Amino acid sequence: MFVQQFFVPGLAHSSYLLGSAATCAIIDPRRDIGIYLEAAAAMEMKITHILQTHLHADFVSGYLDLAEATGAVIVMPKSAHCACPHQAVAEGDRFRIEDLEISVLETPGHTPEHITYVVRDRARGPEAVAIFCGDTLFVGDVGRPDLFPGIALELAGKLYGSLHEKLLDLPPFCEVYPAHGAGSLCGRAMGAKRTSTVGYEKLYNSALTMADRDTFIASLTTDMPEAPDHFSRCSDINRRGPALVWTLPMPEPLAPKPFREKMAEQDVVVLDIRSYTAFSGQHVPGAYHIDKGGNFSTFAGWVLPPDKNILLITNDDAEAAEAAVLLRRVGVDQVVGYLAGGMFEWAKAGFATDHVPLLSAPELQQRITCGDGLTLVDVRAAGEFGAVHVDGALHIPAPELRTRHRELDPNRDIALVCSTGHRSSLAASLLKRQGFTRIWNVAGGMTGFNAAGFAPECPLCVVPHGPRFLGK
């Protein structure tokens, strides 16, 4: 038996190659499938199966693209009612990949249709050696059951049963291969280690040590991170079957004049993906800003209107192509063009630009101290804000400013702060789109403010690989 993991930063998504001697399966593949084709070729294996644990909510799966490229059989939960041709499986079903026997456990809870693939290497012994458990069991956490608001309590109860009556009955040495790690919003507090064992999780996973079912349900249905907008959208795309990537538009380079003409169309929005310092200096008026150095895919899926064509502002051609891949991972498929030559050419053409002034940590502290009427808005997640924040700061998470901007006075100076400056720049672009003009972004965010000694160190900002919300 051979297992290779593929990890996507930002989305914190893990997919796997499960191989025997000459054939293999790909489990929960991402949409850009080249990496699997290369890995299988390097191992001289043929991809014969594509295994889906559930209808993923945080990303669009590449199962159709991979099936087209390889002819592999798509294996799906029967209860998912997927619209594409596939092998539907349910509790107790078994199939083989050479010496590997794979059996199916129905493990609802994170989603209603969730299944776990249990692997036995019959060349070595009859015991279960590994589980590919999707978002049922993580390292240090379990899948959140609250993505379906009307049935969250019911799913939490089913999740308890899936864990305590099925997965925890497997041998303690059985390896655990989850679909996500630290940073994903499919759980609340995943560990940074990307694999584990049933025995270790049984001993030290805080969610599993809650022996009382009611306590478990209460814990998993209160104080959970907000679910991004694209979660329900991606789940539905994965049920219907994603568009094949080769059928989607490729971003076309546009000179400043045709770019400006294109952005005037009603179904078009502009997305600037450069650093927040570059965006601050000058940007196309009305552009969204999502710094590619932050958690780009998640926030793009969260805030960009899914029915619009996207025009990009990038540093170069290669970055435009890379951004299209990152956007497709969350179902933002209509990336139709980018500004050739970037903002340098835009400025040379004499077109208008907008700006977001930056405040350093000492400058922010000075303005707070002098009491000049500055409104400070902390745009981090609730857990981060609760850990440490500046006294007097308002708390509005960045994506919520799309609607909660009405709580702010556009006639007052507003400074926006996050962990480092990435999310606060997104927040600034959202407010700019609503007509706010007196906006500042705090460079370095709370990390810089703490480093300057103006506030206690944020415990969630300093753990480089820990279970932080979105990090930047």
pLDDT digit of tens for each residue in the chain (472 aa)?
A: 999 999 999 999 999 999 999 999 999 999 999 999 999 999 999 999 999 999 999 999 999 999 999 999 999 999 999 999 999 999 999 999 999 999 999 999 999 999 999 999 999 999 999 999 999 999 999 999 999 888 999 999 999 999 999 999 999 999 999 999 998 999 888 999 999 999 999 999 999 998 799 999 999 999 888 889 999 999 999 999 999 999 999 999 999 999 999 999 999 999 999 999 999 999 999 999 999 988 999 999 999 998 999 999 999 999 999 999 999 999 999 999 999 999 999 999 999 999 999 999 999 999 999 988 899 999 999 989 998 999 999 999 999 999 999 999 999 999 999 999 999 999 999 999 999 999 999 999 999 999 999 977 766 655 544 434 444 5
Q: What is the spatial distance between Cα 277 and Cα 349, in angstroms, rounded to a whole number?
A: 22
Report yes or no: 384 and 424 within 8 Å, Cβ to Cβ: no
pLDDT at 468: 42
Q: Considering Cα of 264, then 266, then 268, then 271, what sign does the dihedral take?
A: positive
**pLDDT for position 463:** 53
Task: Catalogue the E-assigned strands of 28-165.
Answer: 46-51, 73-77, 87-89, 94-97, 100-106, 115-121, 128-134
- CA 207 – CA 212 distance, rounded (Å): 10
Tell me how far apart the alpha carbons of residues 102 and 94 are, in angstroms, rounded to a whole number: 6
The answer to whether the beta carbons of residues 450 and 388 sit under 8 Å apart is yes
Distances (CA, A) of 383 to 11, 41, 188, 361: 19, 44, 10, 22
Half-sphere exposure of 152 (CA within 13 A, CB side): 15
What is the structure's pLDDT at 446?
Answer: 94
Predicted confidence at residue 459, as pLDDT, reads: 63
pLDDT at 211 (0 to 100): 79
Per the CB < 8 A criterion, the answer to whether 24 and 2 are in contact is yes
pLDDT at 383: 87
Reduce the DSSP state of residue 302 to 3 states and report it.
Answer: helix
- SS3 call for 268: strand
Q: Strands 100-106 and 94-97, how do they pair?
A: antiparallel
Return the closest-CA partner of residue 207 out of 193, 188, 224, 223.
Answer: 188
Per-residue pLDDT, 390: 95
Which pTM does this prediction carry? 0.93
Residue 72: predicted pLDDT? 98
Q: Is 107 helix (H, G, I), strand (E, B) or coil?
A: coil
Cα–Cα distance measured from residue 178 to residue 132, given in angstroms and rounded to the nearest whole number = 6
The widest CA-to-CA distance across the chain, in whole angstroms, is 74
Model pLDDT, residue 145: 95
Which pLDDT score, from 0 to 100, does residue 465 have?
A: 47
Asked if 27 contacts 15 with a C-beta cutoff of 8 angstroms, the reply is: yes
- CA–CA–CA angle 157, 470, 159 (5° rounding): 10
* φ, ψ at 264 (rounded to 5°): -80, -10
